[in-house]
Structures are given as structure tokens and as C-alpha cells.
Amino acid sequence: MSETGQQAAVERLKTGVKGFDELIEGGIPRGFFISIVGEPGTGKTIFSIHFAWEGIKESDRVIYVTTEESKESIVQQASQFGMNFRKGLNEKKMIIIDALMKSKEEEWTLNDLNIEELVSKVIEAKKALGYGRTRLVIDSMSAFWIDKPAMARKMSYYIKRVLYKWDVTAYLISQYAVTTDLAYGFGLEHIADGIIRFKKILSRGVLKRYVLVEKMRQTNHDLTSHEVYIKPGIGMEIGPGTEKKREDFRINPEVAKKMVDAKNKGIREFLGEEESEWPEK
């Protein structure tokens, strides 16, 4: 085999989100711990659902810990985009650990939101799923340190130290609210091999979502923010970089001239100068 450079040595996992892998040289390097941050409603969970589904399709083991929504809600959200999690669960390719509902009948749940219990449950799930490449989503980590933010960093180290031996590539989600940046995010960002940030803005009264790859070790990643679309029946897709997009929408010179002419005409009218040509109706 010929040596074609560094990329050849890095095994990458596809994210399952159309347009995203191109931003990171083809995917998430195997074994990486990725911190995913963003305010509510920016698309973190849907981004994670795609990662899980891609894992099922590629015959990876998939473990999804949900603290913010019930297992049913995750399965339902996925099904809206044509991803059959129910099948993945039945065929034992996937385990969803429901840390919200704490139902008595449910085998995979957490009695308490503490990090030791989380880690041991994830290992138990990994053993149940068996040997092989594993995708892990923890949605979200914030729930574990919400009442003890000072512990976030220590907990993050613990998770990585214990779980990296289990062949997991992980998405660790944190809620990011403008007012609570520090309390929610700082622990994970120290241990993260990659940081993917989702944002939302209100543009002329319309909500727009963006994503930016802030960090990805061993990767010549894209540095621009990209618009994120969430499409009914399809799921998440990534648009062009915002820089490129601005160029796409640069006004063409002819239109620009017309606008300037119209403006000048308006000024002349305002000043009472004669207008020889009346615009035709």
C-alpha cells in the first residue's frame, strides 16, 4: 500500500448528516470524544440521532443516553425522518438508556443522575451489545452537573478515562444558554477531541440555525459557519459556508445600477428638480 499522507491513517465515522462530513475530512475520527454545544432548539439532538442511525446502518454498536427527553420521544423524532430506531432496538444493535422516565419496567434506565452510575450503565450496555466499534451519545451531560457545575471538569475527565478503553466514539451534548456559558460548558471542552457548536439567530424575524466546527484534532476542518436546515421527512442538512453564501447573494452590477438610479431619481424629485421621463405604469 502506498503512503498517501496522514488522512489514510485516520479511520473516520460518517455523521449521517448530509453536507457535514465534508467539513471534517470525511467524518469523526474513531475513538474521539466530541463536545456538542448549543442553545435549546439548535439541532443537537437531531444531529445526534443521525449519528446513531448511521451507526445502525454501518453495523456499529449504538448507545444513546437521553436525559432531556424520553426514549419514546427520541424514537418518535427519529421516525419522522425515516429512521427506524425501533428496529435497531429489537435487533439489539442499539440501546437507549432513558434517564428521564426512570420507568420500573424499563431495563435500561438510571436511578440517579450521577456520573458513576452513568459510566457503569454505559459499560453494561456495551457488554450487552458486544464487541466492535461503538457509537455513544450522551444527551445531555449538563443534566449530570446542573447542581454541581464545579464538578464538570472532574466528571469529564472521569468519563473519558474510563470509556476510551471501550472503543467508543462519543457525542457529549451540553446545553448552552447565553447566561450560563461557564456553568455548562467548561468541563467538557477541556477533554474534547472536537467541539461542534450550534447557534441560532433571528434574521428579519426568521429563526436560522448555524453550525461551526470549532475544534477537530488531526483534521484540517472547515472554519466557516454553515446554515443548518431541518427538513420534514428528511432531517438535518448542512448548507454552504456563510462566506461563500454572501458572495452568492452579492448584487449583480446591473441591478445595483438600477437601485442607485432609482435612489437618485427619488432625491431629484425630493429637491423639486424636473423629471422629464415618467415611469410607465
Ligand X SMILES: Nc1ncnc2c1ncn2[C@@H]1O[C@H](COP(=O)(O)OP(=O)(O)O)[C@@H](O)[C@H]1O
CA quadruple 126, 130, 132, 134: dihedral sign: negative
Stretch that binds ligand X, among 42-50, 85-93, 247-255, 267-275 (CB under 6 A): 42-50
Q: How far is the CB of 265 from Mg ion (least distance, A)?
A: 52
Residue 212 interacting partner from ligand X, Mg ion, none (CB closer than 5 to 8 Å by kind): none
Is residue 82 at the binding interface for ligand X, with CB under 6 A as the rule? no
Considering only 205, 232, 253, 272, the residue that binds ligand X (CB under 6 A) is 232
Is residue 185 at the binding interface for ligand X, with CB under 6 A as the rule? no
Residue 257 exposed, middle or buried by CB count within 10 Å (0-12, 13-18, 19+): exposed
Residue 199 grid cell: 447557534
Is residue 46 at the binding interface for ligand X, with CB under 6 A as the rule? yes
Helix 44-57 crosses helix 71-80 at what angle (to 10 degrees)? 80
Give the position of cell 450503565: 121
| Closer residue to ligand X, CB minimum distance, 98 or 166 | 98
What letter does residue 27 receive in the DSSP assignment? S
Is residue 213 at the binding interface for ligand X, with CB under 6 A as the rule? no
| Closer residue to ligand X, CB minimum distance, 29 or 38 | 38
Q: Identity (one letter) of the amino acid at 60?
A: D
Rg (alpha carbons) of the chain, rounded to whole number: 24
Binding flags for Mg ion, 26-65, as an x/- string (CB under 5 A): -------------------x--------------------
Residues in the chain: 281
Is residue 42 at the binding interface for ligand X, with CB under 6 A as the rule? yes
Longest Cα–Cα distance in the chain: 86
